[in-house]
């Protein structure tokens, strides 16, 4: 059996055309998430500022899922959720908010009206990966 070349996608998910937008300022966690997902660089977009995020959200670039990190965005993250839900070309898109327990727990009920998942951020990003794959209709690694 020949080994699979490293630059070849090894699953349908890695071959996918999914595009995700992460909005937050935790570049290290973003790198871990990106590595765990195995998506090409242009499929998981990093955005550190709320104003730039609003431009990305309003434009007509296709995003299948939005991931807002509330540890660094706080109420601005919920403002972005409301913006996504107010735009006709974004209303059906999945939204996940992540953050530390201290940030996420008080906002869970407030956010539920427009958010698909509220997650406590783990260092390895495993919970986020599993949730992203589930929301996109993919089998999480190890479930096949």
Query: What is the residue-averaged pLDDT of the chain?
Result: 79
Please check whether residue 27 is in contact with residue 50, taking contact to mean a CB–CB distance below 8 angstroms: no
pLDDT of residue 13: 42
E strands present in the chain: 20-23, 44-47, 65-69, 94-99, 117-120
User: What would the pLDDT profile of 13-71 be if each residue is shown by its tens digit?
Assistant: 444 578 999 999 889 999 999 988 887 778 899 998 888 999 999 999 999 999 998 86
The whole-angstrom separation of Cα 43 and Cα 83 is: 21
CA atoms within 13 A on the CB side of 34: 16
CB count within 10 Å of CB 58 equals 13
Give pLDDT, residue 67: 94
User: Would you kindly state where each structural domain of the chain is located, as residue ranges?
Assistant: 18-128
Per CATH, which fold does 18-128 belong to? Rossmann fold (3.40.50)
Q: Residue 86: its pLDDT value, please? A: 95
């Amino acid at each position: 059996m020949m080994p699979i070349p490293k630059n070849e996608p090894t699953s349908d998910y890695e071959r996918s055309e999914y595009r995700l937008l992460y909005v937050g300022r935790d570049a290290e966690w973003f790198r871990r998430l990106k590595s765990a997902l195995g998506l090409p660089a242009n499929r998981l977009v990093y955005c550190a500022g709320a104003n730039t995020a609003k431009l990305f959200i309003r434009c007509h670039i296709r995003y299948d899922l939005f991931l807002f990190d509330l540890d660094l965005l706080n109420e601005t993250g919920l403002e972005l959720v409301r913006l996504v839900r107010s735009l006709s070309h974004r209303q059906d898109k999945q939204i996940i908010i992540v953050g530390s327990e201290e940030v996420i727990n008080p906002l869970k009920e407030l956010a539920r009206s427009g958010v698909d998942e509220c997650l406590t951020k783990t260092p390895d990003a495993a919970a986020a990966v599993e949730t992203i794959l589930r929301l996109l209709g993919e089998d999480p690694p190890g479930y096949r």
